[in-house]
């Protein structure tokens, strides 16, 4: 299991309630990275939908305030489960206050237009490319960024 998997893990308690933990390793300037918080919300919503045929198709997250490091609760609510689409909301809460609010749609796969595969440009292998600095935020230590032009 990767660190990201561990740090975005949720545990169901009762009803649509999940326990989570906000890890300081994903901090940027003022608080945790928004994508990290979104991943925690999505994990709880996926668990609540509990249908592998329905995958995430859309996600909107409103960040009301920066969550603090430590325990959090994700309260989920299936708003509607139809034949092909499940609409669900989730609220990340700490100390009784909503920190982030998400709305998502999970749906079964349907046919669509065929996409033409594109070929990636040829570049040097990563070990032969120069490293880029990590930046000031703790989260940047998670990346090995290399420049390949």
**Res 91: pLDDT:** 98
Q: What is the mean pLDDT of each run of 10 residues along the chain (149 residues)?
A: 94 97 92 96 98 97 97 98 96 98 95 84 89 72 79
- Which residues are within 8 A (CB) of 50 and not within 5 positions of it... i.e. 6 or more apart? none
**Res 136: pLDDT:** 66
- Which residues are within 8 A (CB) of 89 and not within 5 positions of it... i.e. 6 or more apart? 76, 77, 79, 101, 102, 103, 104
Q: What is the pTM of this model?
A: 0.81
**Res 27: pLDDT:** 92
């Amino acid at each position: 299991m990767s660190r990201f998997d561990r740090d975005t893990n949720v545990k169901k308690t009762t009803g649509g309630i999940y326990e989570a933990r906000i890890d300081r390793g994903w901090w940027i300037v003022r608080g945790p990275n928004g994508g990290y918080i979104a991943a925690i919300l999505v994990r709880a919503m996926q668990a609540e939908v509990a249908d592998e045929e329905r995958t995430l198709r859309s996600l909107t997250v409103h960040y009301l305030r920066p969550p603090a490091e430590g325990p959090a609760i994700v309260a989920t609510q299936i708003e509607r489960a139809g034949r092909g689409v499940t609409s669900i909301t989730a609220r990340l809460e700490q100390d009784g206050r909503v920190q982030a609010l998400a709305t998502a749609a999970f749906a079964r796969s349907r046919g669509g237009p065929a996409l033409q595969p594109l070929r990636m440009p040829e570049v040097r292998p990563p070990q032969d490319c120069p490293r880029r600095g990590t930046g000031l935020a703790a989260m940047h230590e998670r990346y090995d960024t290399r420049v390949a032009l």
